[in-house]
Amino acid sequence: MNDPLYHQLRESNWRRKLTPSEEAELRVWLAAHSDMESDWESEAGLSEALARLPDAPVPSNFTARVLQIVERESAGSRRLESKRNWTVHWILPKLALAGIVLGLGVFSYEHHEVAQRTDLARKVAVFSGVAAASSPEMLQDFETIRSLGQTPPADEELLALLK
């Protein structure tokens, strides 16, 4: 049940004995919600049983133990903070440098590709100009002109005789 009055009375009963006005409110509330009466009785019985238990003895070094635990926890948080600082001061600069190198590599590759395409376009333009200016008669003797620069194969018989 999510009734705030019931929860308030229940928590008050855990901490101390209810005042007469609170008990009157409880009786009115339980009369309206008879299905919760067994729940209240079990809560009240449990609270009374816990109130009858003796207080646990506190060891003489309780404060020192608590302070040691607090110190350990703060040292653990400092270790965690130092790991975080290590990450920030060691890994992040290396990642930034790797990103810069990668970016420069991509930029250089793109620049190289553009330069090659520009050079190819220039060569195609020159060839187009030459091909448009030349006549078909020049290309008829192409095989003859091409063979002028080649040397004939060596004469094996003549070489054998000269030895």
SS3 per-residue string spanning 58-73: CCCCHHHHHHHHHHHH
Amino acid present at 100: I
Q: Is residue 115 part of a domain?
A: yes
pLDDT for position 82: 66
Distance of CA 123 to the CA centre of its chain: 49
Q: Is the pLDDT of residue 150 over 70?
A: yes
Q: Is residue 63 part of a domain?
A: no
Query: Burial of 43 by CB count in 10 Å (0-12 exposed, 13-18 middle, 19+ buried)?
Result: middle
pLDDT for position 37: 84
CA trace torsion 56, 57, 61, 66 (10° rounding): 10
Per the document, the length of the chain is 163
Three-class DSSP category at 156: helix
Pair (51, 90) in one structural domain: no
Q: Is residue 148 part of a domain?
A: yes
Q: Is residue 91 part of a domain?
A: yes
Q: Is residue 61 part of a domain?
A: no
Give the mean pLDDT of the chain. Answer: 82
Pair (50, 98) in one structural domain: no
Give the number of domains in the chain. Answer: 2
CB-based contacts of 43, cutoff 8 Å, min separation 6: 10, 13
**For the segment 77-90, what is each residue's pLDDT rounded down to a tens digit?**
666 666 667 677 77
Pair (35, 96) in one structural domain: no
Domain that holds residue 109: 83-163
Q: Is the pLDDT of residue 136 over 70?
A: no
Q: Which pTM value belongs to this model?
A: 0.35
Return the exposure string of 107-138: e unless at least 16 CB atoms fall within 10 Å of the residue's CB, then b. eeeeeeeeeeeeeeeeeeeeeeeeeeeeeeee
Amino acid present at 33: H
